[in-house]
Structure 1
Amino acid sequence: VSWHLLLSWGLRREVLNFVAYAFAPVTLVTPLGALAVIVSAVLSSVLLGEALNLIGKLGCFLCIIGSVLLVIHAPQEKEVTSLQELTVKLLEPGFLVYAILVFLAAFVLIVIFAPRFGQTHILVYISICSLLGAFTVASAKGLIIVLTSWILKLNFNLNVLFVSRLTHDLNRILFVSYFQVNYLNKSLDIFNTQMVYPIYYVFFTSVVLCTSIILFQEWSSMSPIAVVTTVGSFMVIVVGVAMLNLFRDSTVRIQPKHFKEEDKYGLIENMMIESLPPMGEEGPRVFIIS
């Protein structure tokens, strides 16, 4: 029953995470995925009986603090409510150059580095997953825009929803998520999960943030203080996720040391006995301490 609850909760989480792109900027939604780590840790502790040590609890606390700061200083997203506006943003030179560079980097990693170093270097498969995530998250955001504009405008014309060329392109790009999950599973099969997840979270979130900044220009209206605070909040979340995963099996306890009076006097007595010189033939010596 516990496993079924966890799996059903994970499925609902992914669906809600997909829907969240319709109501909040990608810069806000993606880093807040760390909150799922906290819920998973709590559910594992309650339902599966897994222990959550002191460092893990401190990591959860840091994730919560970073998430609160991130929500407070979240950027104001420029509204994209139609396929035409989304098409214009996708065809901007800056994003096209970025998309080509990301695609070439992922292609080189898949063709050259993955067959040679994928089994020994943890960063190879994780880098592929993260780079492919730049396209999957952007396509998910685009499909949500299509669905919301279709529903809110009460334009229930299926031709607009399914025949649009951009919609088909976004669906094809979203299919890339299959390969993304495939390489993530390879990484989890080879390397330790406690190492894979924090590295993947940092890489994937960083790539998605860069994609969001370039495509949707979410940070253009932010002040320098808000930008610094947002980056700092993300770093706090990263530290919390690392502490929660990397030190999960560590045993850290805070126990005060209690010194008994008899132990103190026994220690002084032993020191006095050890400091006495050896007994000679002339008889015992008397020491007077005043």
Structure 2
Amino acid sequence: METVSPPLIALNRSPSLAHRADILENPIQTYLLGIVISICGNVLISISLNIQKYAHVRQAQRCSKPYYTSVVWWCGVVLMGVGELGNFAAYGFAPASLIAPLGCVSVIASAIISVVFLKETVRASDIVGGTLAITGTYLLVTFAPHTSTHITAHLVQYHAINWHFLLYMFLEIVLFCILLYLYKRRKVKHIVIVMLLVALLASLTIISVKAVSGMITESVRGQLQLIYPIFYVMLVVMVASCAFQIKFLNEAMKMFDATEVVPVNFVFFTTSAIVAGIIFYQEFEDLALLDIFMFLFGCLLSFLGVFLIARNRPKIKQQDRNFIAMDKIPGRRHTDKVQPEPKTSTYGSLAAKLICNRAEQTADS
């Protein structure tokens, strides 16, 4: 009797059985590595944000060169790039439904750094919010799915044609079109409308980022995945969704205060990432009901903590509005002298110049 070799048996299995085998073979060290990389990346992002904030404050006080000429500001940008690269790599090791909520670590670290280095005031809401966010993070790490699949090109193709994902994409496209119509045509400038547009795009970003990161990780391990067209499809989706996500996020930052945008974006982005992980990657499969409840409870605590930390944050002091640039005054050339002499106490004020003119008219009369 002819026997079938083990490799042929493995090839004859359905994709779902192969998917389960990949999960069972994935060690816990890989899962923990993804958590550590994500936490380190978020800490670097918080440090970079505070460095950039410090550079903006210093440039505003000096009223000298633009902020992008500052070496300190560029150091912050480089750190942010490293932190985002760490988050990107973390998706290749741990579930997307866990990596996205860990973004609250950046908010916690940013609040601590701003108090220590930027000398901002510690508020009661910061302490309560930080405690809730840390507790929520602990619950997330404890009760999140402790397994992560080996992301291969065949697995991504299998999930992309799954009817659950196709139905999810259809509903998301319909909802996105409705929101875009309200925002562009009906001119409904509400923060929920804009942030829902960002969240729907973020769902595609999470799916594509995890797919690209996972396939790169598998290629580094020795199983080349970059030869499959699905890798480049996901790469294009990742770049396009990120670009439009940044576009709508910047529009939200122009219309609303950062203390509103940051917590709302965190809640919507995290919810979108969790739903994407459940629908596309089936990350909650075989997870106990108690674990699901505690995971969602940890998300709720993190949401509340971020809202408390980001609420009514002190704003950066703006430049003195009494100063008017010379080239902005009608009827005067930019070489005209508007300000009093630098040695006077009223130097820099247009009102002081008017006072000087009135004094000269009085003396002539």
1:88 matches 2:153: no
Q: Which runs of 5+ in 1 are unaligned?
A: 250-290
CA distances 1:129-162 after superposition (whole Å, capped 9, x unpaired):
000000011000000121011110164xxxx52x
CA distance change for structure 1 residues 116 and 191 in 2, over 3 Å: closer, same or farther? farther
RMSD: 1.8
Asked if the contact 2:91–2:210 (Cα under 8 Å) also holds between the matched residues in 1, the reply is yes
CA distance in 2, matches of 1:167, 1:202: 29
Tell me which residue corresponds to 1:67.
137
CA distance in 2, matches of 1:228, 1:154: 36
Tell me which residue corresponds to 1:172.
236
CA distance change for structure 1 residues 117 and 68 in 2, over 3 Å: closer, same or farther? farther
Tell me which residue corresponds to 1:185.
250
CA distances 1:159-195 after superposition (whole Å, capped 9, x unpaired):
x52x532122112211221010110010011111111
- Sequence identity percentage: 26
Aligned length: 243
Q: 2:190 aligns with which of 101, 117, 121?
A: 121
What is the CA-CA distance between 1:196 and the residue it aligns to? 1.1
Greater CA radius of gyration, 1 or 2? 1
Tell me which residue corresponds to 2:296.
231
What is the CA-CA distance between 1:210 and the residue it aligns to? 0.7
Within 5 A, what are the aligned runs for 1:90-169?
A: 90-110=160-180, 112-116=181-185, 120-153=189-222, 155=224, 161=226, 163-169=227-233
CA distance in 2, matches of 1:193, 1:99: 30
CA distance in 2, matches of 1:215, 1:127: 19
Q: Which has the higher contact order (CA 8 A, sep 6+)?
A: 1
Asked if the contact 1:77–1:216 (Cα under 8 Å) also holds between the matched residues in 2, the reply is no
CA distance in 2, matches of 1:185, 1:96: 30
Stretch deviating more after TM superposition (3-12 or 236-245): 3-12
TM-score by length of structure 1 reads: 0.79
TM-score by length of structure 2 reads: 0.63
Tell me which residue corresponds to 1:266.
none
What is the CA-CA distance between 1:8 and the residue it aligns to? 3.5
Q: Which runs of 5+ in 2 are unaligned?
A: 1-50, 56-72, 315-365
Letter in 2 for 1:115: K
CA distances 1:213-251 after superposition (whole Å, capped 9, x unpaired):
0111111121111011000000000010011112435xx
CA distance change for structure 1 residues 172 and 43 in 2, over 3 Å: closer, same or farther? same
Tell me which residue corresponds to 1:245.
310
